[in-house]
Amino acid sequence: MSESTYSIMDSIKHLPKNIKESFVRREAGTPEQEQAANVFGNVFLHLHPVRVHVNALRPGYTLGLGLISFYLFLILVLSGILVMFYYTPSTELAYQNMKDLEYVVSFGVVLRNVHRWSAHAMVALAFLHMCRVFYTGAYKAPREFNWVIGVCLLIVTLFLSFTGYLLPWDQLAFWAVTVGSNIASYMPWIGDKVRFLMLGGNEVGQMALLRFYVLHVAVLPLIAAVLVGVHFWRIRKDGGLSRPPSQLED
């Protein structure tokens, strides 16, 4: 048998084993090694550490407030994309679009309210999460950097809420943003310039609506997603969640 015939036959013989090994790329080890390898080898599970301290699993410690804020963010992205199918950032059309979404589109009123209530809830939950972090002293070393990332996340969440508020272009939205941008103009020295930059002009009109729309659907969600990524990465790097001093040596 020639060398090349042999190797082709050989590959055919080993095909099932090779296919299996291309999926499962390791030998079976002890159950603990197996568990660890499963976590390392899977990109989704890889986000979790192989071992966590038992304190991190106590629901009463975190109250799940950070995770709930994160899930709300995901709901907002998803429902926001769906709302975008029905919305035009134009002073002529925006209000009518929102009314159509409520009264014409099937389940549109549900979609709108899911987006609206999740936004209110995310502001409240991110704030409560910050209170929990403060209460458990989790802002102290080595987690100061993650606290700062958290503050940035809260500010971005508030800006997301503020920019979204203008989009329905109803009386509430118009006057809320008029008042909000007037407050910004009271900043010493740069106030008027900041207001002009915010509104793209001197009054709340088409340019302001477009600016708020772009910030709301693209710029701020992207910043939030990056910050959430850094926030979660820091939790891993800081040795998992904080715990009471009495449990630090465990």
Rounded-to-integer distance, Cα 182 and Cα 129, Å:
30
Q: Could you say which of 112, 143, 211, 216 contacts ligand HEM (CB under 6 A)?
A: 143
* DSSP type of residue 141: T
Shortest Å distance, C-beta 197 to ligand HEM: 25
Residue 228 interacts with ligand HEM (CB under 6 A)?
yes
67 binds ligand HEM (CB under 6 A): yes
Contact 97, 87 (CB under 8 A): yes
Contact between 220 and ligand HEM by CB under 6 A: the answer reads no
Judged by CB under 6 A, which of 97, 146, 163, 181 binds ligand HEM? 146
Question: Which residue's CB is nearer to ligand HEM, number 20 or number 140?
Answer: 140
Burial category of 69 from C-beta neighbours within 10 Å (exposed 0-12, middle 13-18, buried 19 and up): buried
- The reply to whether 47 sits near ligand HEM by the rule CB under 6 A is no
Identify the residue among 86, 139, 159, 196 touching ligand HEM (CB under 6 A). Answer: 139
Nearest to 210 by CA among 94, 95, 101, 97: 94
Q: Phi and psi of 163, rounded to 5°?
A: -70, -35
CB of 149 to ligand HEM, least distance (A): 7
**Three-state secondary structure call for residue 90:** coil
Three-state DSSP state, 205: coil
* Pick 97 or 146: Cβ nearer ligand HEM: 146
Should residue 207 be labelled a site residue for ligand HEM when binding is judged by CB under 6 A? no
26, two tokens:
């390791």
From CA 208, how far away is CA 173, in angstroms rounded? Answer: 12
The nearest distance, CB 190 to ligand HEM, in angstroms, is 26
Tell me if 154 contacts ligand HEM by CB under 6 A. Answer: yes
Pair 220, 159: CB distance under 8 Å: yes
Site residues (CB under 6 A) for ligand HEM? 62, 64-67, 69-70, 73, 126, 129-130, 133, 136, 138-139, 143, 146-147, 150-151, 153-154, 157, 228, 231, 235, 241-242
